[in-house]
C-alpha cells in the first residue's frame, strides 16, 4: 500500500463504524463495477440483429458474442477468492476493472465477429472477478448490524443489472450504434478503477495466502468442467440438445471435468477452489437457494421480452421500459430489507418472498395475447418486490456467517451457484417454450380442420372481409388461412408461457421447506452461526 493510500479502518467493528468519505467512495466504486459487469451480460442481446448486419455474421456466430462472455465469467467466479489471496484483493480487483474496461474498448472497436468474440472472452475474464470480490468487500466494509444495508447495495446491482441491460442496450443501439453498448463502460470503468486504487485496502487475513503454490491441475479441470457445462447450457437448446454431437461431447467433458475438479480440490493441500467452505451450513444452504434465485431472476427476465416482443409486438425499447418499474421496486425493497433483516430476522423475510413468488407467477399466467402495459405492470412490480425480499436475507446469512478469511471463497461459491442457476433456468425455459409450443399447437390443430364447421365459418367470414378490402377471392382465402395459422401459433406460444411460469412455481414450492432452514436471526446479533 502506498503512502498516499488512507489507512485501513476497522471495518467490522460496531464501535469504529462511521460512514465517512473514504468508505462511501469504496462502496460507490464497488457498486459501479458490479453494475457494469452484470449489465454487460444482457446489454448486447437486443443489438444482435444490428450486429449481424454490421459484421456480416450468422446468427450462430453472433450467439458466441453472448455465450463467450458468460462462459468466461463462470470460469473465473470460483477463482476469485484464491486470486485475491494470491495477488492481494486491492490489486486483483483494480486490475480486473482495468482488464474489463480495456476489453470493452476493444469490443467497441471490433470490426469482425472473430475479434469481438475474442475480446468478449477477455472482458468476461476481467468482469467475473467483480461480482464475487465486490460482495466480499461489502461484507467486510459493514459491521453486523449494517450487513443488510451492505448486501442491499450489492443486490441493487446484482438484481437490477440484468433488467437494465436490455433497456440500455436498446436505447444505445437505436439512437447511436451497437458499439456504444461497450464503449459506455470505458469512462465509468476508469473512474471505478481510480477510486478503488485510491481507497480500497487488503484485509490482514489475506497476507497468509500470498505465497501458496499454484494448483494448475485444478485450474485446468475448472476450465474444462465448468466451461463445458456452461457452454452446454448456453448452446443446448439451439443445437437440439443431445441430438447434437457437440452437446454430447460437452456433457462428457463437463461431467469428467467437474468430478475430477471436486476430487482434486478435496485432496490437494493448496486448492484453487476450497470446497471445504461448504461445511458452513448456512453457506451450503445459501448456495442451493441462490441457484433457485438465479432461475427466478434470470428466467423471468429472459421470458418477459420474448413474450412482449414475439407475441405482443413490442419493440426492445418498449420491453425495456416495462421492466424498469420492477427494477425500481427491487431496489427500493432491497434498501428497506437492508434495515429490516437486522430487526426482523432473515427467515421471516425470506419465507415471505418464497410464498409471494407463486402469487407473482399466477398473476403472470393471466397475461394474454391482448394484454397491454397496464396488464403487465402489477405482475412486474410483484416480481421486483419478491426478488427484493429473497436476495437480501439469503446473501446476508450465507456470507456474514463465515469467518473473515473465508468470506471471499464463500462469495465466489455463492455467486457461481447463482450464475449457474440462472443459466440452467434460461436453458430449461427456452426448451419448455420450444417443446410446449409444438405440443399445444398440435392440440389446437385437432380442433381446426377443413371439415370443422366453426373453422369453415371463421375462414369464410375472414375471407369475405379481406375480399371486401380489395383482394380477389383466391388471395383472400390464402391470406385468411395464413392468418389462422399465425393465430394458432401465437395461442400455442401463449400456452407454452403458462407452462414456463408453472415450472418456475413448482421449483419454488418444492424448495419451500429449505426456506425454513434459513437462520432465524441476523448473523452477529446473538450467537454466531455454524
- Could you tell me if 349 and 408 lie in one domain? yes
Cell of 117: 468474440
- Could you tell me if 48 and 128 lie in one domain? yes
Whole-number pLDDT of residue 8: 38
**Is 362 domain-assigned?**
yes
The residue count of the chain comes to: 530
Kindly calculate the radius of gyration of the chain based on its CA atoms and give it in whole angstroms.
25
Whole-number pLDDT of residue 496: 92
Say which DSSP state 176 is in.
S
Q: Is the pLDDT of residue 223 over 90?
A: no
Where is average pLDDT lowest: 76-90, 167-181, 280-294, 476-490? 476-490
Q: Is the pLDDT of residue 32 over 70?
A: yes
Q: How far apart are CA 13 and CA 409, in angstroms?
A: 22
Confidence of residue 298 (pLDDT cuts 50, 70, 90): confident
Q: How far apart are CA 80 and CA 389, in angstroms?
A: 27
Residue 73 exposure: Cα atoms within 13 Å on the Cβ side: 32
Q: Which residue has the higher pLDDT, 173 or 111?
A: 111
Q: Which residue has the cell 464497488?
A: 30
Integer angstrom CA distances of residue 97 from 36, 321, 440: 10, 29, 47
Phi and psi at residue 213, to the nearest 5°: -75, 160
- Could you tell me if 446 and 511 lie in one domain? no
**Is 2 domain-assigned?**
no
- Could you tell me if 236 and 207 lie in one domain? no
Q: Is the pLDDT of residue 530 over 50?
A: no
- Could you tell me if 266 and 379 lie in one domain? no
Whole-number pLDDT of residue 452: 59
**Is 412 domain-assigned?**
yes
- Could you tell me if 392 and 489 lie in one domain? no
pLDDT in tens, 438-496: 888 888 777 665 555 666 566 666 666 666 666 666 666 656 666 666 777 888 889 99
Boundary of a domain, candidates 199, 214, 229: 214
Integer angstrom CA distances of residue 453 from 289, 442, 462, 484, 491: 52, 19, 14, 15, 20
Burial class for 263, CB neighbours closer than 10 Å (0-12, 13-18, 19+): exposed
Where is average pLDDT lowest: 171-185, 199-213, 355-369, 415-429? 199-213
Q: How far apart are CA 148 and CA 345, in angstroms?
A: 10
Confidence of residue 147 (pLDDT cuts 50, 70, 90): low
Where is average pLDDT lowest: 91-100, 154-163, 283-292, 428-437? 154-163
Cell of 475: 388471395
Whole-number pLDDT of residue 2: 42
Q: Is the pLDDT of residue 251 over 80?
A: yes
Whole-number pLDDT of residue 10: 38
Long-range contacts from 6-12, C-beta under 8 angstroms, 24+ separation = 6/198, 6/199, 8/201, 8/202, 8/203, 11/140, 11/141, 11/142, 11/143, 11/203, 12/140, 12/143, 12/144, 12/404
- Could you tell me if 412 and 332 lie in one domain? yes
**Is 364 domain-assigned?**
yes
Cell of 208: 497468509
pLDDT in tens, 467-481: 666 666 666 665 666
Whole-number pLDDT of residue 367: 92
- Could you tell me if 231 and 151 lie in one domain? no
- Could you tell me if 347 and 250 lie in one domain? no
Domain of 359, in residue numbers:
276-434+498-530
**Is 401 domain-assigned?**
yes
Whole-number pLDDT of residue 403: 80
Percent of the chain exceeding pLDDT 90 equals 13
**Is 423 domain-assigned?**
yes
Q: How far apart are CA 85 and CA 92, in angstroms?
A: 9
Whole-number pLDDT of residue 413: 84
Cell of 85: 489471496
**Is 410 domain-assigned?**
yes
Number of compact structural domains in the chain: 4
Whole-number pLDDT of residue 460: 62
Mean pLDDT in the chain? 79
pLDDT in tens, 355-375: 999 999 999 999 988 888 888
Cell of 330: 427491487
* Selection from 85-89, 209-213, 524-528 with the highest mean pLDDT: 85-89
Q: Is the pLDDT of residue 29 over 60?
A: yes
**Is 316 domain-assigned?**
yes
Q: Is the pLDDT of residue 17 over 70?
A: no
- Could you tell me if 294 and 185 lie in one domain? no
Whole-number pLDDT of residue 412: 80
Query: Tell me, what CATH number does 50's domain have?
Result: 1.20.1250.20
- Could you tell me if 224 and 287 lie in one domain? no
Boundary of a domain, candidates 245, 271, 297: 271
- Could you tell me if 232 and 377 lie in one domain? no
Amino acid at each position: 500500500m502506498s503512502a498516499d493510500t488512507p489507512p485501513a479502518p476497522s471495518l467490522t467493528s460496531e464501535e469504529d463504524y462511521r460512514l465517512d468519505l473514504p468508505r462511501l467512495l469504496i462502496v460507490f466504486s464497488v457498486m459501479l463495477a458490479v453494475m457494469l459487469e452484470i449489465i454487460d451480460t444482457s446489454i448486447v442481446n437486443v443489438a444482435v440483429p444490428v450486429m449481424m448486419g454490421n459484421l456480416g455474421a450468422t446468427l450462430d456466430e453472433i450467439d458466441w458474442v453472448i455465450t463467450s462472455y458468460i462462459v468466461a465469467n463462470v470460469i473465473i467466479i470460483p477463482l476469485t477468492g484464491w486470486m485475491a489471496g494470491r495477488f492481494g484483493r486491492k490489486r486483483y480487483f483494480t486490475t480486473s476493472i482495468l482488464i474489463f474496461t480495456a476489453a470493452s474498448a476493444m469490443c467497441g472497436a471490433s470490426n469482425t465477429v472473430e475479434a469481438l468474440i475474442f475480446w468478449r472472452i477477455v472482458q468476461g475474464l476481467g468482469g467475473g472477478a467483480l461480482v464475487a470480490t465486490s460482495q466480499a468487500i461489502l461484507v467486510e466494509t459493514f459491521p453486523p448490524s449494517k450487513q443488510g444495508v451492505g448486501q442491499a447495495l450489492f443486490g441493487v446491482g446484482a438484481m437490477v443489472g440484468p433488467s437494465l441491460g436490455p433497456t440500455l442496450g436498446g436505447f444505445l443501439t437505436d439512437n447511436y450504434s451497437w458499439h456504444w453498448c461497450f464503449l459506455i463502460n470505458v469512462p465509468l470503468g476508469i473512474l471505478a478503477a481510480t477510486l478503488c486504487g485510491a481507497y480500497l485496502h487488503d484485509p490482514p487475513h489475506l497476507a497468509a495466502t500470498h505465497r501458496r503454490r499454484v494448483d494448475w491441475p485444478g485450474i485446468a479441470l475448472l476450465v474444462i468442467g465448468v466451461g463445458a457445462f456452461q457452454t452446454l447450457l448456453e448452446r443446448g437448446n439451439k443445437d437440439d440438445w443431445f441430438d447434437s454431437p457437440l452437446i454430447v461431447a460437452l456433457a462428457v467433458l463437463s461431467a469428467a471435468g467437474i468430478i475430477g475438479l471436486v476430487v482434486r480440490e478435496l485432496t490437494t493441500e493448496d486448492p484453487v477452489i476450497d470446497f471445504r467452505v461448504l461445511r458452513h451450513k448456512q453457506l451450503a444452504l445459501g448456495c442451493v437457494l441462490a441457484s433457485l434465485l438465479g432461475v427466478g431472476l434470470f428466467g423471468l427476465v429472459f421470458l418477459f421480452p420474448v413474450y412482449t416482443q414475439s407475441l405482443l409486438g413490442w419493440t426492445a425499447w418498449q420491453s425495456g421500459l416495462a421492466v424498469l418499474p420492477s427494477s425500481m421496486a427491487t431496489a427500493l425493497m432491497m434498501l428497506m430489507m437492508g434495515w429490516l433483516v437486522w430487526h426482523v430476522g432473515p427467515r421471516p423475510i425470506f419465507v415471505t418472498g418464497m410464498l409471494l413468488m407463486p402469487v407473482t407467477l399466477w398473476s403472470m399466467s393471466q397475461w394474454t395475447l391482448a394484454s397491454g402495459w397496464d396488464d403487465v405492470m402489477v405482475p412486474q412490480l410483484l416480481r421486483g418486490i419478491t426478488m427484493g425480499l429473497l436476495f437480501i436475507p439469503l446473501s446476508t446469512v450465507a456470507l456474514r456467517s463465515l469467518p473473515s478469511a473465508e468470506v471471499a471463497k464463500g462469495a465466489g461459491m455463492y455467486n457461481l451457484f447463482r450464475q449457474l442457476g440462472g443459466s440452467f433456468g434460461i436453458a430449461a425455459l427456452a426448451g419448455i417454450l420450444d417443446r410446449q409450443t409444438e405440443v399445444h399447437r398440435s392440440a389446437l390443430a385437432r380442433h381446426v380442420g377443413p371439415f370443422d364447421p366453426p373453422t369453415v365459418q371463421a375462414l369464410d367470414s375472414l375471407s369475405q372481409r379481406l375480399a371486401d378490402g380489395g383482394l380477389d377471392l383466391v388471395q383472400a382465402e390464402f391470406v385468411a388461412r395464413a392468418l389462422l395459422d399465425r393465430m394458432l401459433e401465437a395461442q400455442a406460444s401463449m400456452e407454452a408461457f403458462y407452462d414456463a411460469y408453472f415450472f418456475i412455481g413448482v421449483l419454488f414450492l418444492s424448495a419451500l421447506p429449505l426456506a425454513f432452514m434459513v437462520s432465524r436471526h441476523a448473523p452477529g446479533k446473538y450467537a454466531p452461526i455454524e
